[in-house]
Structure 1
């Protein structure tokens, strides 16, 4: 058994909007059956981390602070509870293996067993949303060690996929993989518009390009994010800082699509105005895939446009174990086509976590990564 200290340094939200506190959090002495203790190698910072830190997510008022922030991370196995022999895909698992893991659905409720939609499990235990003063304590990614719940799916990271990219894939990309599963086939004559140029938007653009879309248009800002989309092969980009008027943006999309509008619009920006704009951008009979709307804001739309245009509106939440697996395979199998490292804009140590969070909040980063050397 690997030598493991008694405590793990972790970056905790104690009060919303205040700097994260570095605390020594207990490491459990006993690992329950089916659980795993990992030593974190990389934890990438998601926009949701920033929103939760600022108290902007709808769930924030119901979370008993303090919490360890972070929900996309990669670690090496240092201890395994009784009964752990393989990852969820059946691959043999041993100490030293690199791992990503899911939130913990219960496996027993209606959503888990009948509909097989584990991301909608009402009993789901979620990393960074769980109090860190109660066992098993290590329930967030911004920590030197993390506890993998017994019912969390766990997938070994394939050779050739860096720890940093595996971490980034364990949230944004697995969610996009889930979204594309729900979206269905993309035809080679279709135009896809992506609302948002953050990691979700960049991965969505990459998957739409890989699927063979005729055109992929990315709408967002700032310019450094759009340049990544262009490098990856986006047909067109629209910078909302240069073209702040939604009507003008719609005109550009209509000009690119024979005045029809986009066949598929993918909302991954989280912006309050994005949803009504997306309804406007999609063509008659088109599909609108909504991923980024997780805040409590309200928007005004006319539902008749959904009816009159016969739009399919598809919502997507998080991802399950199969999406984590597919996300890692997408990275592994498309490394030559997409320079995924371009998205990893900066590295920070755990001691620099507040600098990293401020840079993410100010959109100076595309994807910042904490390294736990």
Structure 2
């Protein structure tokens, strides 16, 4: 190793041993040394994602082996630096004590990696989804320490970005940054409809507004989240609670666009039925970027609508290390324009993990943060 602080023999972690059962706080082993290209970090904040809840429930369409440490949206302070790991993925020098966020670990050799789509790596090791029984054990953010694998990209966090927001950048915001990039240019002539008022939908509302969209309409619930979407720049919000009929929501969008529909629809809701509605909401010649559909649910659509409208449908998944870097830049440069702090709905010790997950299931939290 080229640099090292104090490496403990054990660390405390929140461990899932049975799907849907209470998570236990346990002492787990820490690797005594760090391999070339790796880092050992002390986790200073880990924000919760809806995927964490679904993983704990056992409802993800993935082969998950228990036991595991949940958490993939975290920021850590460097404790030990492996040989050759003294710079981050964008060339910034790394030292003991620096804060970093990091990607899942990619193999760098498969077809997806060589095609410069590492987020689709065929051999990806995903933080928060790897069994605690597998070395290096510390593959989740619900712990006091985490191990950054050599295949994981990493970016140093600017001093101006607080811990809680930096952790959000490593999943929620980087996914939105990637989606906005893939969606293409928006300008004053464009109306954008954002489906979903969770953290991703609210962040997307803000980025599309800052990108110069002429009008941003956010569709979602409950009212408190729509109020936050308005604070992020939504010109109009449509409540799923007040307008439960999709035909009525379509009429609202047509009313806002002189009957054309949205030039760009961005789906962040995760509800399968939202896809067919998004196709209807899009204007002829429009674009539809789909981000939230990660589950196994299905829906029925009339595919001819896509053809007759000449729609461009874009799937957007995760992001590469460039989007982590851009997400941190967004937090730094837009800090006075967008109320990022309002997305952080609570800060909790590791011991409160079960209560926090229960609150997320009840939609009582937007983006809670564990402080291990």
TM-score (norm 2): 0.98
Q: Which residue of 1 aligns with 2:112?
A: 111
Q: Which residue of 1 aligns with 2:343?
A: 343
Give the CA deviation at 1:247: 1.0
Distance in 2 between residues matched to 1:12 and 1:221, nearest whole Å: 32
Contact 2:7 2:32 in 1 (8 A): no
Q: Which residue of 2 aligns with 1:201?
A: 201
Are 1:74 and 2:75 counterparts?
yes
Q: Which residue of 2 aligns with 1:92?
A: 93
Are 1:300 and 2:303 counterparts?
no
Aligned residues: 369
> Equivalent of 1:22, from 12, 20, 25?
25
CA RMSD of aligned residues (A): 0.9
Are 1:171 and 2:171 counterparts?
yes
TM-score (norm 1): 0.97
Q: Which residue of 2 aligns with 1:188?
A: 188
Q: Which residue of 2 aligns with 1:156?
A: 156
Distance in 2 between residues matched to 1:150 and 1:268, nearest whole Å: 31
Distance in 1 between residues matched to 2:96 and 2:237, nearest whole Å: 45
| Counterpart mapping for 1:1-373 below 5 A | 1-59=4-62, 62-113=63-114, 115-372=115-372
Distance in 1 between residues matched to 2:20 and 2:310, nearest whole Å: 42
Give the CA deviation at 1:78: 0.3
Give the CA deviation at 1:363: 0.5
Give the CA deviation at 1:231: 1.3
Distance in 1 between residues matched to 2:20 and 2:234, nearest whole Å: 36
Q: Which has the larger displacement, 136-145 or 228-237?
A: 228-237
Distance in 1 between residues matched to 2:348 and 2:222, nearest whole Å: 21
The answer for unaligned runs of 5 or more in structure 2 is none
Give the CA deviation at 1:261: 0.5
Q: Deviations over 1:166-215 (max 9, x none)?
A: 00111011011111221111121101000001111011111100100011
Give the CA deviation at 1:341: 0.1
